[in-house]
Structure 1
Amino acid sequence: MTLRTTALGLALACAAAATGATGAGPLDKTECIAGAKPGGGFDLTCKLVQTALLDGKYIADPMRVTYMPGGIGAVAYNAVVAQRPADGNTIVAFSGGSLLNLAQGKFGRYSESDVRWLAGVGADFGAIVVAKDSPFQSLKELMAAVKADPAKVVFGAGGTVGSQDWMKAALTAKAAGIDHKTMRFVAFEGGGEAVTALQGGHVHVYSGDASEAVAQMAAGSKIRVLAVMSDKRLPGELSGIPTAREQGFDLDWPIIRGYYMGPKVSDADFKVWTDTFDKLMATKEFETLRAERGLFPFAMTGPALDAYVKRQVGEYRKFADVFGLNVAK
């Protein structure tokens, strides 16, 4: 072996050590896992970052979106923690619903401490909605009616007991001063069916999402938003709608969307991703993409997001205890 050959081999070995055995960094051959079938919220979240990264030239090739349905994100969560914990180029979409399910122990033996929470990129909020011709003109009027006779006010939403929409209705009933068990609630397959029932007078209140309400009104649905469940008024078409807090009721229900990574992803790779999201979310282009998907501003990464997620899951556990839902201890 010549000195030149030895030197070349040493240089190649050093390069491989610097970039990894495959020569690929965390932003090469990227993948986003959606924990459901195509077309839902997880898919929307993955497609958002897929478009934003490519358009902003943060990645050279389109991000691959992989679908891993089951348990509203539970299958994906378990697979990443157990089978792909160190994948530095893979991110997984999550939502507020994921955090609620974690709080109720629906993700199996894993908890909110078993992944690295990467970035929260957008938010939606709960909304209390009635038909346009409803006699209720404010949240206070609705609450007074619920308290006077719970049997005469029927709530409807796209979700069964323990779901986000059911929790919004149960919290509303609780804020009105009644036991949630006396609340009349009708579960529908989705928000569209619930809104149709609302307009037909089959239910009186819809506990849905703010962005969904905006979309329904734009499509011609005859509905009216009484309150948004956010800490401050929302921008855009709902800027004139008061929050529940403004009307005297402590009702907050943020629904964030974002991404997490496996628990053994290196600090270096994780930092590349958090730095990239920080840059990405500061651009006007990302703001536009987020708004096009019906999401309100929310931007948080790394340790700040980790603290936020753990705080939210803790709050959801308290709600689950209050409402007698199954919770992993």
Structure 2
Amino acid sequence: MKRIISLILVLVLALSLGVGCSQGGNEGEEKAFPYEKTVEIIAPASPGGGWDSTARALQKVIVDNKLAGDVNVVVSNLPGGNGSIAWNGLIDEKNPHKIAMDSSYIYLNSMLGIEGAPSIDDVTPIATLTNEWIGVFVSIDSPYNSINDLFDAVKADVNSVQFVVAPGKGNDDHLATLTTAKAYGIDVTEFDKTIVATDTSEILTGIMGGFYDACFTGALEGLEFVEAGNLKCLGITSNERYEGKFDYIPTIQEQGVDVVFPHWRGLLGAPGMTEEEIAWWNELIEAAIATDDWKEILDNNEWVSYYRNSADTKAMWEEEIVNYESLVEAAGLMVK
């Protein structure tokens, strides 16, 4: 009897030790990312703008198609500093469950002297999502009918054509203007002295009213006035023409000026993200942009798909930043 009781005690002890070891093993195992039940996409601007609308469109596609499984995907807004406030928040928190929308401001801000602006070395590139091409617009009764007409006039007399940008110098519209002038063989430093800045709401009305002669601005913003018969579009910064009703508008490149200039929107994350964490986000985004819902969003907003994964986005940053530094320096906007 004692032997039976002893055997039972041994078995009970062995089972309890086994369960304990098993539980301890589970606790010691590394959990796959995401480690939390909620991930966040931050729009570094107020609701309604390009960053916000892109972030919310991406979130909607992910949620509607159940691409993140049981992980919640939320969007928040944190405006300020051309994105720098949100990006610095990611840097300080170092939370791989949070990513933020970005654009070329990730390198422009520090060049332009935005206080506390991070550099590309301070963050992790996640992806590039969309692009909006830039158009060159003049009034409907302008004597200029091509990029060559326009920049021939500038080359002959740098003060003869009044260019305007909005809302200020240093953004993509301004740098696309300088890039085209540079490619045309014009002294960018002297040319930039003639460019004026105005409020965004006044740039196209100013062209139509005869206050300015030409501007580079978001193509889709200007094309509605082209369709209404108020403006002419002399070219777009794309490498190929639009399809459909605006297919008659040439690219700048096909007019003999070697310029392709995107205005992209993408996503970045905290510094030090692991390959697993980056891969999870890339796989989620790739699944989202492959859906019919995402393609419909692109069509409805007339956005251009410009997807690049983390590695390709990093390569794009490193290539673009060299050109941007040269242009900002030539325009006298570089803050040392």
Find the aligned partners of 2:29 and 2:195 in 1 and give their Cα distance: 59
Q: Is the 8 A contact 2:131 2:304 kept in 1?
A: yes
Alignment of 1:259-278 (within 5 A): 259-278=267-286
Find the aligned partners of 2:197 and 2:307 in 1 and give their Cα distance: 32
Classify the secondary structure of the residue corresponding to 1:63. strand
Q: Does 1:189 align with 2:189?
A: no
Classify the secondary structure of the residue corresponding to 1:135. coil
Q: Does 1:251 align with 2:259?
A: yes
Q: Does 1:132 align with 2:119?
A: no
Q: Which residue of 1 aligns with 2:37?
A: 28
1:61-102 deviations in Å (ceiling 9; x for gaps)? 663222222210111122211x222x2221110013334324
Classify the secondary structure of the residue corresponding to 1:151. coil
Taking a change above 3 Å as real, the CA distance of residues 9 and 186 of structure 1, as seen in their structure-2 partners, is farther
Taking a change above 3 Å as real, the CA distance of residues 261 and 201 of structure 1, as seen in their structure-2 partners, is same
Give 1:109 deviation, angstroms: 6.5
Taking a change above 3 Å as real, the CA distance of residues 4 and 98 of structure 1, as seen in their structure-2 partners, is same
Q: Which residue of 2 aligns with 1:57?
A: 66
1:46-72 deviations in Å (ceiling 9; x for gaps)? 112111211221134663222222210
Which amino acid in structure 2 is aligned with residue 30 of structure 1? Answer: V
Which amino acid in structure 2 is aligned with residue 212 of structure 1? Answer: E
Q: Is the 8 A contact 2:84 2:118 kept in 1?
A: no
Taking a change above 3 Å as real, the CA distance of residues 157 and 17 of structure 1, as seen in their structure-2 partners, is farther
Taking a change above 3 Å as real, the CA distance of residues 135 and 292 of structure 1, as seen in their structure-2 partners, is same
Q: Which runs of 5+ in 1 are unaligned?
A: none
Normalising to structure 2: TM-score of the pair?
0.85
Find the aligned partners of 1:131 and 1:62 in 2 and give their Cα distance: 49
Instruction: Report % sequence identity.
Output: 25
Which amino acid in structure 2 is aligned with residue 64 of structure 1? Answer: V
Give 1:117 deviation, angstroms: 0.7
Q: Which residue of 1 aligns with 2:124?
A: 116
1:5-31 deviations in Å (ceiling 9; x for gaps)? 6655655554455564xx972683121
Aligned length: 322
Q: Does 1:316 align with 2:328?
A: no
Taking a change above 3 Å as real, the CA distance of residues 47 and 18 of structure 1, as seen in their structure-2 partners, is farther
CA radius of gyration, larger in:
2
Find the aligned partners of 1:133 and 1:10 in 2 and give their Cα distance: 83
Give 1:173 deviation, angstroms: 3.7
Taking a change above 3 Å as real, the CA distance of residues 26 and 151 of structure 1, as seen in their structure-2 partners, is farther
Normalising to structure 1: TM-score of the pair?
0.86
1:255-278 deviations in Å (ceiling 9; x for gaps)? 111101111223212111111222
Tell me how large the CA RMSD over aligned residues is: 2.7
